[in-house]
Every structure is written in C-alpha cells, then in structure tokens.
Amino acid sequence: MFVPLQTRVPILLLVVFIFSIPNTTTATATETKTSAGHAIPFPSHEHFNVKQTIKESTRIHPPPSKTQGVAEEEEEEKEFPWKLKLLHRDKLPFSHFTDHPHRLEARMKRDVKRVDTLIHKITGAATNNNNHNNNNNNNVYEVEEFGSEVISGMEQGSGEYFVRIGVGSPVREQYMVIDAGSDIVWVQCQPCTQCYHQSDPVFDPSLSASFSGVPCTSSLCERVENSGCHAGRCKYEVKYGDGSYTKGTMALETLTFGRTVVRDVAIGCGHRNGGMFIGAAGLLGLGGGSMSLMGQLGGQTGGAFSYCLVSRGTGTTGSLEFGREILPMGAAWVPLIRNPRAPSFYYIGLSGLGVGGARVAISEDVFRLTEVGDGGVIMDTGTAVTRLPTTVYEALRNAFIAQTASLPRAPAMSIFDTCYDLNGFVTVRVPTVSFFLMGGPILTLPARNFLIPVDERGTFCFAFAPSPTRLSIIGNIQQEGIQISIDGANGFVGFGPNIC
C-alpha cells in the first residue's frame, strides 16, 4: 500500500480532476464517460508524493514582483481585459507568519470563525422565516464582506484570497479580499475615525474626481441591508460573527479591473472598520445579491465569472475572470440552486460522496436544501476546509480510514481528527475522494486537495471536518487547482475542464 523511503523507484504523481458518470462503484479503475461525452479513465487510487508535497506546501513564496513578466502581463490584458490575478493570503507582503505550523494554526482559527458566521447567518435566516412567515422584516440575514484580488488573505482575517484592483480617478491600486458569499463592495476611506492597518495607503475620496455620495432618497440606499441616513447621506453598517465590522457611507465610484474601467459602482466607504480585515483595503463581494459586484455589472458580464484558486506551494497565481466569453467548453455543468433566505451564496446539488471509487453509504437527502432554507451545499471561497453534516463526515472519514489501514496514524491536530505520520515515506498509495454531483457528473479530487501537511516533518491530516448543522460547505482547499465557473444568468456552476 505504500512505498518506503529506501525504495527509489520513480513514480509519476497523478494529479487530475475527473468529471464522469460511472459505470461501476467498485474500487478498480474503469472506463467512464464525462458529462461532455469524452472517454476517460476514472482513478480510484493515487500514488501521493509525500516529499514533494511537504516541500511545496510548507514553504513561503514571495509575492510576484511588479516588474516580473510585465510584457507578458500586458499582452494577456489586451486579450483578456477582465482577467485578474488571484493570490493566496500567504503570498501577500503583509503575511507575517514565517513557519508552516503557525500559518496553519492561524488559518484554522480563521476558518472556525468563518464557518460559525455562515452557519449563524444562514440558519438564523431560515429559522426567522420559518417562525415569522408573516413578518415583513427579513433583514436577519446580514451580508458578509470579503473582497479583493485573489491573494491569500489578511493576517487575522477570514479572507483567504485577494485580488488587486484600481479605485477612483486617478486610479489608486488596492488589495481586496474576494468573497463569493458576500454582496457589498467596500474600502477603507479617509477620514478614518477608526481604521485597521492595510498595506496600501487608505483611499481618500476627496482626491478622486469620480467619487460621489449616495443620497438617502436614492433607491440604491433602499437595497442596502442595515442602511440608515445621516446629513442626507446613505449610511451602511456590516457586522461579522467574529466581531469584525465596517461602517461608513455609500458612494458611487469608478473601479478598474486590469484594462477594464467600470464607472458608477456602488461601494461602501468605510470610516470605522475593525477586526479581521488587517492588510487588505476592503472586500470585493461576488455573491448572488443585487449589491454585489456581479449584481451591479449585470449585462456587462452576462452574469458570469470564473475563478481558479492556485494550489498551495506552486509559486504561481490563480485567476479571476468576468464575462460569458470566458466560460469554458467541456466543463461539467450542474444546476445552481438559489436559496431566497440566503441569496448571496451559490448552492449546488450534491447526491453523494465516494472513496476509492466506491460510493459511501449515505442518503442523498442529507444534502437537500429545504423549503425554509435549511441545509444544502454551498461553494465558499472564504472557508478553507470542507464541512459536512456530522453523520456524513463520519461516514466519509471511516471509509477513508478503512482504505488507509496500512498507513501509520498520528494524533489529532487542530480541527482534524484523522491524521497520518508519513515521515520517511517518498510516496504512499491512497484512495481518491469524489463528489457525486446532481445530474451525474463526478468531481474526483487529487490527494493534495484532501491530505494536507500540518508540519514540515511529514504529518498529514484528512482535510474535512464535521458541521454541527445540516449545512455543507465546500471549502477552498477542495476547490484549489480547479477551474470553477458561475453562470448566474442561466443558473449553472461549471467545474473544469482546465486546471490552474
């Protein structure tokens, strides 16, 4: 089942993302058909390169130089004017952790806060609707904010990926957290009554010729959750489950994405901000609500965007692109499910899970979104580790343990209860993990998307965790390296076919 260190036989590391409709559920490799009709092998097991993964995943890569590859970048911008580079938080110049265990510990603490916030908001909205169907005040669901160029987040924030965009006229470049589960776009603004530290100078609206405030009487102000009025100006306030917050005035401003200039984008100009947003200037909400960037762009992008979260340790950047023309051919498309109680989030249909090519014995009903907005499966860029209802997680974990009985175990660590001591191994043979998606496609993950190193000596943990509710969250570790496309206008989510 494994190849020890002293065995020097070279083995090719298989890293693939497979979308297929299986002809069998046995643990042997079989010939299957993808949703696009192409014949491909369905791998049930993989030779996982332990040494290479430790080397790549535990080292810190410096952020790309601003002068590095300028000519290539300019040529790419001409061809793809809506394309932005996506970076993980650990690549940012304001990431202060220098060793892997401390980075991982901080990431897991952020992750727990993020998940608690999502559960509180979504289940709170569902409970409120179920108990108060005749109540017209449905603002229990508070929009969470994350936004920016896709880079791995802030030191103490739950934002994991960042982008770099231009704000105002003339353009001031800012790092922004991206969040596919948030609706408001906001930046810190002068004058700052209270602002956290960010890597770029705080945006000063008095220096921007395109900045204009939003009056209280504007219909836009009515669309903002928790809005208010002061001195004739529309006020906003967003609070987060971990105590973080942003407060300020709503405004219309010009944003620049690569070579694309978008005027009159509604943004929050935050004068009082605190908590987890250390490092970035603010948040770029990509959620499904009307106030998100996608909701505001509307016809300019055809309601579509695509992202690739770069795999940890590769030293490269991911991408964030907008527009229908970037939607890939040959992707595995599944229906996008809308939850009116939590409109910011992108839900997908999940019918089951697999380990080593065999389907885990769990009911499809455990993934179902109820009529009152409870349960379901969301895709979230801000959550790192995939969460599953406790009974589902335990079934998946036990199936994985059964197929890795020959591997030495290690003590539980952080939020992980299933870990392995792979110190001294070059490669190990492990089963792959699969998501059985609605309509038939299967998303099969390579081992690096569910076995992650927690130290530099060779301790790896199974990167799934239980959820205390019926809500399932597919996190960014499981999304890494996969091209994910959101076609909000037509109601589909695409996986692949490209890898990052």
- DSSP 3-state of 499: strand
Residues forming a β-bridge with 308: 319, 483
Q: What is the pLDDT of residue 240?
A: 63
Q: What is the pLDDT of residue 148?
A: 28
Residues with Cβ within 8 Å of 226's Cβ and at least 6 positions away in sequence, in order, are 139, 142, 236, 237, 238
- Compute CA distances 410 → 130, 216, 423, 475, 487, whole Å: 44, 58, 10, 24, 42
Q: What is the pLDDT of residue 276?
A: 63
Q: What is the pLDDT of residue 55?
A: 82
Residue type, 259: R
Do residues 384 and 474 lie in contact, with contact meaning Cβ atoms separated by under 8 Å?
no
According to CATH, where is 2.40.70.10 located in the chain?
A: 45-56+330-499, 147-322
Euclidean distance between CA atoms 36 and 484, whole angstroms = 16
Euclidean distance between CA atoms 491 and 489, whole angstroms = 6
Residues forming a β-bridge with 493: 334, 486
- Tell me the catalytic residues: 179, 380
Flag whether the pTM goes above 0.75: yes
Topology (CATH level 3) of domain 45-56+330-499:
Cathepsin D, subunit A; domain 1 (2.40.70)
Q: What is the pLDDT of residue 294?
A: 92
Q: What is the pLDDT of residue 348?
A: 96
pLDDT along the chain (500 residues), means of 10: 34 39 36 33 82 77 47 50 80 61 76 81 60 36 29 39 94 92 92 90 97 94 85 86 81 93 96 80 90 88 90 74 90 92 92 95 95 93 93 98 97 96 96 92 91 93 95 94 92 85
Topology (CATH level 3) of domain 147-322:
Cathepsin D, subunit A; domain 1 (2.40.70)
Residues forming a β-bridge with 330: none
Q: What is the pLDDT of residue 235?
A: 94
Kindly report the length of the chain.
Answer: 500
Task: Supply φ then ψ for residue 37, to 5 degrees.
Answer: 95, 5
